[in-house]
């Protein structure tokens, strides 16, 4: 997916604004297992995934909670870094080797103050993500483990192909053993 489409999918930007935004964006390539954001660090970076897959997880050391997957077309940020310039609660690592575009978020902050279209682009990005997480929080609570797995099979079968089951289990809020039990029961 091309960077122009990724940007416009979030919120269509006029050419001038897009050019401004792209001034500080450059391509990066990282191998599988590379870490983009490390927990408890402040990074002034944002990435757009042109090719590949990443995951965000919290609580490393203790137990990893995978709470987000990113793939082609997604923007990758560590929320606390991005929003509050504070230490992130998550680690974000590559699940596949990736082609991405990197953007400096300090630069982005300046653009938010100068360009109303980019400000609204940033607004839309946060708003869309917000809805996704809120729906996920609700959904998590009112469905059983099996329902959650079935729903994922129905809505995002690709994820099951590309991501190992241990991460899927965590993402669905269950243990790997539980997921395995559910999968075998469905056959």
User: Which positions touch DNA (CB under 7 A)?
Assistant: 144-146, 164-166, 173-181, 183-184
* Rg, C-alpha atoms of the chain: 17
CB of 80 or CB of 183, closer to DNA: 183
Q: Does 145 bind its own copies (CB under 8 A)?
A: no
Kindly state the smallest distance separating residue 161's Cβ from its own copies, in Å. Answer: 24
Report, in Å, the least distance between residue 93 CB and its own copies. 16
Looking only at the bridges linking them, the beta strands covering 75-76 and 45-51 are: antiparallel
Question: In which residue are the tokens 């075998």 written?
Answer: 184
In what order do the strands lie in the sheet containing 75-76? 25-30, 98-104, 45-51, 75-76
In terms of CB distance, is 103 or 169 closer to DNA? 169
* 27 touching its own copies, by CB under 8 A: no
154 binds, among its own copies, DNA, none (CB under 5 to 8 A by kind): none
| Contacting range for its own copies; rule: CB under 8 A; set: 1-9, 19-27, 47-55, 63-71 | 63-71
**Residue 126 interacting with its own copies (CB under 8 A):** yes
Exposure on the CB side of residue 55, measured as CA atoms within 13 A: 22
Which residue, 179, 164, 1, is CA-closest to 96?
164
Task: Round to whole Å and give the CA distance between 136 and 172.
Answer: 9
Task: Tell me the closest approach of the beta carbon of residue 143 to DNA, in angstroms.
Answer: 8
Kindly state the smallest distance separating residue 187's Cβ from DNA, in Å.
8
**Residue choice 15, 62, 161, 177 for contact with its own copies (CB under 8 A):** 62
């Amino acid at each position: 997916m091309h960077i122009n489409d990724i940007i416009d999918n979030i919120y269509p930007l006029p050419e001038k604004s897009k050019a401004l935004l792209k001034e500080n964006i450059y391509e990066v390539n990282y191998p599988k297992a590379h870490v983009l954001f490390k927990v408890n660090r402040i990074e002034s970076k944002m990435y757009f995934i042109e090719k590949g897959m990443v995951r965000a997880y919290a609580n490393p050391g203790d137990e990893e909670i995978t709470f987000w997957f990113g793939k082609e077309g997604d923007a990758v940020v560590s929320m606390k870094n991005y929003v509050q310039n504070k230490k992130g609660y998550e680690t974000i690592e590559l699940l596949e080797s990736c082609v991405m575009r990197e953007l400096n978020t300090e630069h982005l902050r300046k653009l938010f103050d100068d360009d109303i279209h980019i400000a609204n682009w940033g607004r839309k990005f946060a708003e869309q993500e917000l809805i996704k997480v809120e729906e996920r929080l609700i959904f998590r609570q009112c469905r059983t483990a099996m329902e959650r797995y079935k729903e994922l099979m129905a809505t995002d079968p690709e994820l099951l192909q590309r991501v190992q089951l241990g991460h899927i289990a965590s993402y669905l809020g269950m243990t790997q053993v539980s997921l395995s039990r559910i999968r075998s029961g469905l056959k």
